[in-house]
């Protein structure tokens, strides 16, 4: 019974997420957003990328920083291979990682932990196992920008490969590597209201996990697939603590769900 209840709860949340993804022209990722009691809140990023990804990370953080919804800053660095492989989420923060995660079908993976509608932590992973696909600079820029964009609560502008000149589409176009004005406008409207709580953290203590915390913090469970697109999937899992992990998967070339087209 317990398992069924959790599954039902996850599926309920996922159904909302899926409906929003397919029906919401504003391309918000459901109503997910960081809780904050004041405007232009500080959102800290932990850099767990190797130097070959630092340029892409710096570019996309500079681009997303043009949003007036939040103030992004990199406040932690740890690109040891163990940290990058585990990419443990930190409460109230974003962690950006890359590693050879294996030929598992996903090129990029954005994961957010949500409590109600509030994002409480997030990770973005680039899968270096698909090195041939990531040999293309526009692909690197596109996927890095999109997965980070998901961590603010943004969804896709389109899921059919058409271009809206934003990294939040699935176009291979060279003009789809960075956010556009529509993304900034959507962030302003998503973050126009104020909340009664802050779900971001500026605690420096939270940046580094102790070895015992590292040992306890397992991989975030992928759970069940709740949405299948040609180029992407959404997965959801209970976190065992009352929250939910929701994952946005960018599929690697050759792993597209072409049956969705039928
Ligand atoms: Zn709110
Ligand atoms: Zn995506």
Domain coverage including residue 103: 2-261
pLDDT in tens, 87-134: 999 999 999 999 999 999 999 999 999 999 999 999 999 999 999 999
User: Strand 224-228 to strand 244-251: parallel, antiparallel, or no bridges (unpaired)?
Assistant: unpaired
What CATH number is given to the structural domain containing 121? 3.40.390.10
**CA 147–ligand 2 middle distance (angstroms):** 6
- Closest listed ligand to the CA of 118: 1
Query: Residue 97: which H helix or E strand, with range?
Result: strand 94-99
Tell how far the Cα of 188 is from the centroid of ligand 2, in angstroms: 20
Rg of the Cα atoms in the chain: 17
Q: Kindly indicate the confidence band of residue 206, based on its pLDDT and cuts at 50, 70 and 90.
A: low
How many domains does the chain divide into?
Answer: 1
**DSSP H or E stretch at residue 157:** none
Query: How far apart, in whole angstroms, are the C-alpha atoms of residue 80 and residue 97?
Result: 10
Q: Would you say the pTM of this structure is higher than 0.75?
A: yes
SS3 55: helix
Query: What's the gap in Å between 163 CA and the centre of ligand 2?
Result: 14
Structure tokens at 93: 């923060």
**Looking at 10-14, 116-120, 166-170, 200-204, which range is the least confident one?**
10-14
For residue 258, the 8-state DSSP code is G
168-179 pLDDT, tens digit each: 998 888 998 999
Residues by chain with Cβ below 5 Å of ion ligand 2: 146, 232, 248
Ligand showing the shortest atom-to-Cα distance for residue 198: 1
Contacts of 245 (CB under 8 A, 6+ apart): 111, 112, 113, 220, 221, 222, 223, 236, 237, 238, 239
Please give the distance, rounded to the nearest whole angstrom, from the Cα atom of residue 37 to the centre of ligand 1.
9
């Amino acid at each position: 019974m317990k398992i069924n209840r959790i599954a039902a709860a996850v599926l309920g949340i996922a159904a909302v997420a899926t409906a929003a993804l397919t029906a919401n022209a504003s391309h918000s990722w459901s109503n997910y957003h960081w809780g904050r009691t004041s405007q232009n809140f500080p959102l800290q990023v932990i850099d767990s990328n190797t130097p070959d990804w630092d340029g892409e990370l710096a570019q996309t953080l500079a681009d997303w920083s043009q949003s007036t919804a939040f103030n992004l800053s990199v406040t932690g660095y740890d690109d040891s291979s163990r940290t990058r492989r585990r990419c443990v989420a930190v409460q109230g923060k974003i962690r950006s990682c890359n590693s050879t995660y294996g030929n598992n079908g996903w090129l990029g993976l954005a994961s957010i932990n949500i409590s109600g509608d509030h994002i409480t932590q997030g990770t973005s992973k680039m899968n270096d196992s698909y090195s041939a696909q990531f040999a293309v600079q526009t692909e690197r820029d596109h996927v890095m920008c999109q997965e980070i964009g998901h961590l603010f609560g943004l969804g896709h502008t389109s899921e059919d490969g058409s271009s809206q000149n934003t990294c939040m589409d699935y176009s291979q176009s060279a003009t789809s590597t960075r956010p556009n004005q529509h993304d900034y406008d959507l962030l302003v409207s998503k973050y126009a209201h104020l909340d009664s709580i802050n779900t971001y953290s500026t605690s420096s203590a939270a940046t580094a996990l102790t070895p015992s915390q590292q040992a306890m913090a397992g991989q975030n469970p992928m759970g069940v697939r709740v949405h299948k697109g040609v180029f992407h999937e959404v997965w959801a899992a209970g976190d065992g603590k009352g929250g939910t992990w929701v994952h946005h998967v960018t599929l690697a070339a050759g792993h597209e769900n072409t049956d969705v087209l039928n």
